[in-house]
Amino acid sequence: MSKRLLIILSFILLLVACKPKESIILTGAIDRLSDGEVEKLILNRNRDISTIKLGKVNFYVNINGEELKSGGTIGIISDSVVVISLIPAMGYEISRIFCYKDKILVLDRLEKTFFYTSLQKNMNKYKINSDFSDIESLLNGRAFIYGIHLDGTRVEKSVERNADHIELSYKMLEKGFERINQEVIINKNGLITETNNITDKKENININIIYTKYNSVDGFNLPKEITLVLNSSDHKLKLKIEIGTVVINDKINAQNTIPPKYEEALIDY
């Protein structure tokens, strides 16, 4: 498999979802809520959005020293599919990626090829304990609990507050030992996620997610700039996404028709 396809495939993995209506909550009102109520509000942010269109997107990817820079777009249909179009400076699409709950379809416009691969198999390859809902949450700025679906574990959690921020802390215990430590920093102004830092001690992996800017769209706060850094004993990955425009609850074309004469590519892991 070519280096370019390897970078595209690895890029997908870096993007590694009851829907209460989101409303503006004053800081004083938040302070009067219980820890459980505050956590529920944070983990359910933006769930009333059915679709998100992210336009004029700039992607910066570095995977073990290999770099990919591209423009493009991202379309999200909640709890269904994420569609990523890579459009470099020359202005035409080179790849379209469909990320579903169970599989990934990649259309390579330059090589006129396509391939399917398993989302979970690729997550397992990089020892990432995430799923589709985490990818969706990452892109819409919603905090998520890493590794929540792992068998044989239990979660200890705490909520701490100061004048401006809320800190959610999660410890994932496995057989009495701390396997995963996670700290999420939330700005009280709009309950927006600022950082989500994860350490998986068993897999020797660190994931840092940073949101530096937000767009306000129809009363919802959605990321304008996302940085994700993943370090493990085998891989060093960095992804930065700069988002120009955001449209919510509009129709998204997620049709995945494979063009005629495209050949299926065989990929290795």
pLDDT band at 123 (very low <50, low <70, confident <90, very high): confident
pLDDT of residue 20: 34
| Token pair of 269 as six digits | 């892991």
The more confident residue out of 4 and 233 is 233
The more confident residue out of 268 and 255 is 255
User: Does 136 have pLDDT greater than 90?
Assistant: yes
User: Which residue segment(s) compose the domain that 13 sits in?
Assistant: 3-144+218-264
159-196: pLDDT as tens digits = 999 989 999 999 999 998 999 999 999 999 889 999 99
Q: Please check whether residue 210 is in contact with residue 223, taking contact to mean a CB–CB distance below 8 angstroms.
A: no
In the chain the beta strands, taken as DSSP E runs, fall at 51-63, 66-77, 81-87, 95-100, 103-108, 113-118, 153-161, 165-174, 177-187, 192-200, 205-217, 220-232, 236-242, 245-248, 263-264
User: Does 11 have pLDDT greater than 70?
Assistant: no
Establish how many alpha carbons lie within 13 A of residue 169's alpha carbon, considering only the half-sphere containing its beta carbon: 8
Residue 45 lies in a domain: yes
pLDDT of residue 170: 97
- Please report, for the domain that includes residue 87, its CATH number: 2.50.20
Residue 126 lies in a domain: yes
Residue 48 lies in a domain: yes
Q: How many domains does the chain have?
A: 1
pLDDT of residue 210: 98
pTM to 2 decimal places: 0.87
Residue 209 lies in a domain: no
